[in-house]
Amino acid sequence: MATLYMMRHGQTLFNVLKRKQGWCDSPLTELGIEQAHRAGALLHERGVTFDHFYTSTSERAVDTLEVVMGELGVAGAPYERVKGLKEWNFGAFEAITEDVNPPLPYGDYYKPFGGEGEMELRERLMTTIAELMNRPGHDCVLMASHGAAVAQVLRATGEEELIRPNVTPRPRIGNCGIIVYDWNGERLHPLELINPNA
């Protein structure tokens, strides 16, 4: 059994401006950098030792991972940027304000606008994660990704209620929130939601 820590990036400029950022990008804010430091410090305090690091190719995820690695005392260690860990592609809705969002669930709403459907996104993420986790020597892995991506991976397990019970208010996956999973070689089982900045 292996362990995956899947982390959302820190706060970004577009988060503050309430703009959609899927495949487009915006930089971490000072608060976002501070959030990443807190997440790394928490993992260090827990004594977690990772054998591999991965990140979405988006700058906001890369920068978050590098800050966390610094807090873990492994700054400069190798990591891999993986396109399959990128956020939901919102097509023509990229970078516009979030008040244009359709009601949840989004489903295939963005497909006619050049974006991804919800099941396409899940399939991309789950295929990517399986390929990475099944590489040799992957016993404890940290992956930096994005809010919708992290949430969709959790929903794809069918066990979201284990760590996000359907209560009001429902626990959020905040900036630099981390979901811990067991990986048995075929599927993920969620163990814990960590919100270092709650």
- Hey, which residues does 28 pair with through a beta bridge? 12
What's the DSSP call for residue 5? E
What's the DSSP call for residue 26? -
- Our answer to whether residue 37 is catalytic in this structure is no
- Hey, which residues does 10 pair with through a beta bridge? none
Is the distance from CB of 193 to CB of 171 less than 8 angstroms? yes
**Sequence-ordered alpha helix ranges (H) in the chain:** 13-17, 30-45, 59-71, 118-133, 147-157
Point out the catalytic residue in the list 87, 94, 116, 118. 87
Element (H, E) at 29: none
Please choose, from the candidates 122, 118, 140, 119, the residue with its C-alpha nearest in 3D space to the C-alpha of residue 51: 140
Cα 194 from chain centre: 12
Q: Report the C-alpha gap between 30 and 80 in whole angstroms.
A: 25
Q: Report the C-alpha gap between 3 and 66 in whole angstroms.
A: 20
Point out the catalytic residue in the list 9, 37, 52, 146. 9
- Our answer to whether residue 116 is catalytic in this structure is no
- Hey, which residues does 90 pair with through a beta bridge? none
Residues with a catalytic annotation lie at: 9, 87
